């Protein structure tokens, strides 16, 4: 295919941005975008998140470290690591959807989300479907998300 390298780069860029943005919200505890900066009841949020993901806190912490390692060693900086393995992004997607929903339902005291889509999963799926349509029109394999 004539534009194969373009689509390989696009896929890689999407994966990189996914990891970078997810880490801002879930991995950088001192960062200004970390979920703890906007969630009032941190214990309730974390308990709900772990229940939604169906994992124990140790598994969640390991996943956060896996995403942070990828960001630090391959995306933000290219260190001496030889093999990059992209973690499964299901947990990243589910945690982002959970946070979005939690914020809408629990942290919207000033109606700041009045124009926000009310269902994060549907909103994500709409864009995912659009992406699949573009890729299929060009006969490009699409990774599941």
| Tens-digit pLDDT profile for residues 23-61 | 999 999 999 999 999 999 999 999 999 999 999 999 999
Residue 64, number of CB atoms within 10 A of its CB: 19
Place of tokens 């960001």: 71
Distance CA 143, CA 131 (A): 11
Query: Alpha-carbon distance 64 to 83, whole Å?
Result: 19
What pLDDT shows up at residue 37? 96
pLDDT of 131 over the 90 cut: no
Q: Of all helices (H) and strands (E), which one includes residue 4?
A: helix 4-26
pLDDT tens sequence across 134-143: 877 777 665 5
Q: Which candidate, 117, 118, 125, places its Cα nearest to that of 145?
A: 125
Cα diameter, the chain: 52
As a dihedral over the C-alpha atoms of residue 14, residue 132, residue 117, residue 15, rounded to 10 degrees, the angle is -10
């Amino acid at each position: 295919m004539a534009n194969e390298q373009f689509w390989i780069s696009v896929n890689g860029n999407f994966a990189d941005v996914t990891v970078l943005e997810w880490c801002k919200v879930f991995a950088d505890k001192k960062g200004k975008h970390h979920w703890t900066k906007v969630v009032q009841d941190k214990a309730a949020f974390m308990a709900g998140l772990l229940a939604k993901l169906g994992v124990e806190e140790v598994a969640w912490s390991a996943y956060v470290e896996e995403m942070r390692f990828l960001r630090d060693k391959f995306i933000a900086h290219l260190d001496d690591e030889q093999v990059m393995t992209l973690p499964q992004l299901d947990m990243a997607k589910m945690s982002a959807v959970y946070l979005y929903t939690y914020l809408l339902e629990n942290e919207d005291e000033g109606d700041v989300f009045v124009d926000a889509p009310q269902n994060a999963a549907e909103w994500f799926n709409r864009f995912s479907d659009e992406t699949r349509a573009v890729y299929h029109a060009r006969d490009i394999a699409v990774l599941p998300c």
